[in-house]
Structure 1
Amino acid sequence: MTGFSQGGEAATAVGEALQANQIPGFGLAALAPISGPYDVQHVEFPAGVDGRVSPADAVFYFAYWLTSMNRIYHLYDNPAEAFQPPYTDAAELFDGKHDEAAIGKALPPTPDKLLQPAFVSAALANPTGPLLQAMNASDGTCDWTPHVPVHLYAASGDRNVPIANAQSCLAALHTDQATLTDLGQIDHTTTVHVALPQILTWFQQQVPAT
């Protein structure tokens, strides 16, 4: 099982389900997620605020994540509680009719112009209630004990999903079979192109073709 970025986080969750026999007819032989945002509360959210995530990407991620999670966990009664004007209608951009380029153009260049300071302070200092529930729902995919080899891939040069996410995941996995490869000073998109050939070779070693 592998996946990239949001798919890396999904891969860890699906891996757990496969190991627990929750998907009839399929099992887990090895797990190799790439550059996943495994720790929203302690890594991705703070990194989006302090500049470790490039500002334009942080703005997109904040708008996307808050809009999505609000539909599930009801983070706010009024968008103005989270978003500054004139961006209180940011949720309308995520309607399936706007592509990423159009959404990016409609959002501000930096997170401090998008998010309400009080909302940021609460999220960084002491998230509670629905916001904490949403973060916990995103952040629990590495909190299990794999019975198969796990190889995490990330890059210290990634300005979209900092490598600290993968370090957090590695610490949360309850196994000595997990390792983390730092792919170096490359950007987020490049990580998948560098990692996938290595993963294919490793998968073939774990389960040789018959």
Structure 2
Amino acid sequence: TERINKKGDNINAGWLARNYGMSLANGELITFQDADDGSHTNRFEIQLYGMEKYKSDHVVVDWRKYSDDLNETVYDVDIDTLQVIDTDTILKTVQKNKKGFFKYPFSRNEDNNYLSSVAHRFDRKYLRSWDSYPLAASMPLFRRSVLGEVRFRQLYERVWPSGRGRGADRDFNFWLAETCKTSIGLEVPLVLWRHNGLDNKKYVDRN
């Protein structure tokens, strides 16, 4: 999904596509994966195992840089010895990063006036924390039953915007964690992120 602002800049509007996809989903579990990312083929298996073992409704895993050698492979891991970011730790991060006065994140892709830019800098420095959602928030696995009102919000609505970029995944996962109160993170690098993708010849050749 693409959106173009009046300057002609491309603005990522994938949040619309994800909301539409969730509205059509009728299975018990939902996850996402961007077309320009990859993951180990047992990502779902390990996330589901963590969900069942820790009675969680929302599970994220760690990431590593994309590599053609890793894509479409199984990650060999002893899932009973994984390091886990527990629910209490995540909920503390939720509250820490919810503080702030100015709701609008003033993305670099929007038309900003001087006063709004000053307000954003003040908010960022003194009122709000900008910790990332733990691990790789772009590929959560969660139960459809805990969604409730949670959805991907457009830029100006986000309560947990990103200090850099737009923060759609960050906002969604913090909101879902606050809602379901059973979120965990598994520290195993199953997500293959396109980090420096344009400089990664194997990535470019494959895509």
Please give the range of the TM-score, normalised by the shorter of the 2 chains. under 0.3
Structure having the higher helix fraction is 1
TM norm structure 1: 0.24
TM norm structure 2: 0.25
Structure having the higher strand fraction is 2
